[in-house]
Structure 1
Amino acid sequence: MTDAEPGWELYRSFLGVLKEGSLSGAARSLGLTQPTVGRHVEALEQALGLALFTRSQLGLAPTEAALALEPYAETLAATAAALLRVAQSQGDGVRGTVRITASEVVGVEVLPPILAALREQHPGLMVELALTSRVEDLLKREADIAVRMVRPSQDVLLARRVGTIELGLHAHEDYLGRHGTPRSLRELMNGHAIIGFDRETAFLRGLRKELGPLRRDAFALRADSDLAQLAAIRAGYGIGICQVGLARRDARLIRVLPKDLSLPLDTWVAMHVDLRDSPRCRVAFEAVAEGLRRYIEGEVS
């Protein structure tokens, strides 16, 4: 191990190889040449005194040391990206890039018109939209603003509750026309195609009581993507859970058994308290919070 501190570009190439599994893949994703990426990885290995990859039939396999370093390198990457967003926003007016994270359904079905109106008002603002069910770490600046279905617990986060998004069982009218509308959970479980999750997450485990008999082995279609489940409901595959507000937009989506299943999810918009004086983050935070409030209260269609 050398005394010289490795430069960020070495860790950047290291992460690229980790994600792509090869020097060529990392080079394409980073906009570098393959020899440059190879030199970066070798230089990092020499600087740290560690072997980071071994060659296999499938490409470059990370060593145990590489996997141990991965979360720290990802923190460096998030910090570097946040630094660039802040640098781009300097100057008069609202400008630069704001990174927003939300679930797939909220990001695809709810946020686009909100962000379009924000763009019209502030054309110098650029948006990065990270759609994931994983809780992006605002403390590590993986995102500037987060839409979450749980109350943020960290004191250094500025969080606003915007309302409750209700989930319920829905089906397309064509499906109900073919198979009838269940009048009880027993009828639902015994005579209908149910759409649900594939792998049970910690979030879903917390909803076991509310979900009742809705378990993986009862589902006729299993998908971990909420968007895929929503698409299946719209296609008339069967009965599944979706946001009541989304179903309200389409008269062909009919809610079933509302008294038997209603999942209210508190909805929060959060950002790091250090960003409250940032014009780009402040206007985006307000726009997202107000847009979600209007969606939840049914003020927009």
Structure 2
Amino acid sequence: MNRRDLDWDLYRTFLAVLRAGSLSAAARDLDIAQPTVARHIESLEAALGLQLFVRSPRGLLPSETALELRPYAEGLAATAAALLRTASGQGGEVRGTVRVSASEIVGVEVLPPILADLHRRHPALVIELALSNTVEDLLRREADIAVRMVEPAQGALVARKVGRIPLGLHAREDYLQRRGMPASLDDLAQHSLIGFDRPTPAIRSLVREVPGFDRVRFALRADSDLAQLAAIRAGFGIGACQLPLAARDPQLRPVLPDVFALELGVWVVCHENLRATPRCAAVFDGLVAGLATYVRNRGDL
């Protein structure tokens, strides 16, 4: 076997071992035998003339070469998945698979009823929901459609701005009864604050004008928005969340609404080559309509 004849299965197995960290775990993920995984790795290493993994007490450690090859293997995997999704949706009927990328909060708290309505109207439609606070690369087809909180800059994408979601500080009522309602940003120093651990550029731009809401003051730091929301709901302290979500919970109370008032833009984005396909058009339009209702009705879908 030479480099030009390499089977895609070898790259797929290579990526599975990279992600899983062992032959046995990769075999379970791929639903194939462990000796087959080992044979694939040996064949790939022999064809490339390179060592890809080193055995250690902690499992298989990727070599520097393997780490350099990883993004290309991930690109192949994304392309293969996109090929299957595209093939599944051929024809005029709304059918096949659509991969949707969204942040944790939107994917868990906002999208389920929207997707349920889409499935009722189009039962042959299959949705893959990828939850991540990173921006999925639509140009590489890691997702077909994305719900983004930042405006896309790539020219090959079709984007529809749905609106703006207001953010505010909130705390559970019993927490405020114990600790008191802060009257100013300075008073936040006397409270248990919930916030981010590692600020992203989007977070920095949002909180730049709120000096009292700073990482060094947080009593709980989490990069998971879901974890922050759960902590607010549990009565841990004061944290920022979307006003439509807070409006659903009768136990949550706004804190300093006249001082801490931020907004997140919301866009539904799709690659221009997919916008006209029946499956993607149905999901794109359904997401736009559902998210517009969420923004307009303060979370009541």
State the partner residue of 1:251. 250
Q: Say whether the 8 Å CA contact 2:165–2:265 is kept in structure 1.
A: yes
Q: Say whether the 8 Å CA contact 1:157–1:271 is kept in structure 2.
A: yes
Offset, 1:300: 5.2
Q: Say whether the 8 Å CA contact 1:6–1:44 is kept in structure 2.
A: yes
Cα distance in 2 for residues equivalent to 1:200 and 1:115: 30
State the partner residue of 2:214. 215
Offset, 1:170: 0.5
Q: Which moved more, 1:153-162 or 1:198-207?
A: 198-207
SS class of match (2:17): helix
State the partner residue of 2:89. 89
Q: Say whether the 8 Å CA contact 2:147–2:267 is kept in structure 1.
A: yes
Instruction: Note if 1:294 corresponds to 2:293.
Output: yes
Cα distance in 2 for residues equivalent to 1:206 and 1:38: 48
SS class of match (1:211): coil
State the partner residue of 2:122. 122
State the partner residue of 1:170. 170
State the partner residue of 1:265. 264
State the partner residue of 2:240. 241
Q: Say whether the 8 Å CA contact 1:193–1:237 is kept in structure 2.
A: yes
SS class of match (1:166): strand
Offset, 1:266: 1.0
Gaps of 5+ in 1: none
State the partner residue of 2:282. 283
Offset, 1:271: 0.5
1:101-159 alpha-carbon deviations (Å, 9 max, x no partner): 10000000000000000000000001000000010000000000000011110110000
Between the two proteins, the alignment pairs up a number of residues equal to: 300
Q: Say whether the 8 Å CA contact 2:175–2:235 is kept in structure 1.
A: yes
Cα distance in 2 for residues equivalent to 1:202 and 1:300: 26
Cα distance in 1 for residues equivalent to 2:153 and 2:239: 31
Cα distance in 2 for residues equivalent to 1:197 and 1:251: 25
Offset, 1:57: 0.9
Offset, 1:258: 1.3
Q: Say whether the 8 Å CA contact 1:181–1:256 is kept in structure 2.
A: yes
State the partner residue of 2:158. 158
Cα distance in 1 for residues equivalent to 2:228 and 2:276: 39
Q: Say whether the 8 Å CA contact 1:2–1:49 is kept in structure 2.
A: no
Structure 1 residue runs of 4+, over 6 Å off?
none
- How do 1:1-301 and structure 2 match up within 5 A? 2-189=2-189, 191-298=190-297, 301=300
Q: Say whether the 8 Å CA contact 2:161–2:267 is kept in structure 1.
A: yes
SS class of match (2:6): coil
Q: Say whether the 8 Å CA contact 1:160–1:270 is kept in structure 2.
A: yes
SS class of match (1:80): helix
Q: Say whether the 8 Å CA contact 2:244–2:299 is kept in structure 1.
A: no
1:141-185 alpha-carbon deviations (Å, 9 max, x no partner): 000000001111011000000000111100111111111111101
Cα distance in 1 for residues equivalent to 2:232 and 2:160: 31
Cα distance in 1 for residues equivalent to 2:250 and 2:207: 30
The change in CA–CA distance for 1:251 and 1:208 in structure 2 (over 3 A counts) is: closer
SS class of match (1:133): coil
Offset, 1:3: 4.3
SS class of match (1:221): strand
Amino acid corresponding to residue 278 of structure 2 in structure 1: P
Amino acid corresponding to residue 215 of structure 2 in structure 1: R
Amino acid corresponding to residue 247 of structure 1 in structure 2: A
Offset, 1:210: 2.6
Amino acid corresponding to residue 140 of structure 1 in structure 2: R
The change in CA–CA distance for 1:241 and 1:111 in structure 2 (over 3 A counts) is: same
RMSD between aligned alpha carbons? Answer: 1.3
1:232-270 alpha-carbon deviations (Å, 9 max, x no partner): 111111100000111111222111111211121111000
Normalization by structure 1: what TM-score?
A: 0.97
Q: Say whether the 8 Å CA contact 1:183–1:257 is kept in structure 2.
A: yes
Q: Say whether the 8 Å CA contact 2:168–2:254 is kept in structure 1.
A: yes
SS class of match (1:135): coil
Gaps of 5+ in 2: none
Cα distance in 2 for residues equivalent to 1:257 and 1:239: 11
Normalization by structure 2: what TM-score?
A: 0.97
Q: Say whether the 8 Å CA contact 1:5–1:47 is kept in structure 2.
A: no
Offset, 1:92: 4.1
Q: Say whether the 8 Å CA contact 1:210–1:263 is kept in structure 2.
A: no
